[in-house]
Amino acid sequence: RHCHERNLAVNPQGGNTGMVGGSVPVFDEIILSTARMNRVLSFHSVSGCPGFAEVLQTFSTCKGMLGEILSAFEFMDAVCMQLVGRHLH
């Protein structure tokens, strides 16, 4: 609310690995660290994606096969992929 009322951009910053330039502030952004957000409190069941247990299983399988090579894991459901296709072609 504070940032919205002052028209300030909020830039969430997670692992800070430097792998993604989007987490680096460019001008006047507020940095919001997500480092302490280390557990899932809930998962919306009607979001169109498989259960969170399946996502975790997929991550575990990939981590087992790739080890330390796997430095990030991101999940996008079918609706998200349709939006990406529609807007970014």
Cβ neighbors of 31 (< 8 A, separation 6 or more) are 11, 13, 25
pLDDT tens-digit readout, 41-81? 776 665 566 777 888 888 889 889 988 888 778 888 888 88
Q: What is the DSSP letter of 39?
A: S
Which phi and psi angles does 70 have, rounded to 5°? -80, 100
pLDDT of residue 24: 67
pLDDT of residue 43: 65
Chain position carrying tokens 């169109």: 48
Amino acid 32 reads L
> What is the pTM assigned to this prediction?
0.40
pLDDT tens-digit readout, 19-42? 666 666 777 788 888 878 777 777
pLDDT of residue 18: 62
pLDDT of residue 16: 65
In whole angstroms, what is the distance from residue 70 CA to residue 60 CA? 11
Cβ neighbors of 7 (< 8 A, separation 6 or more) are none
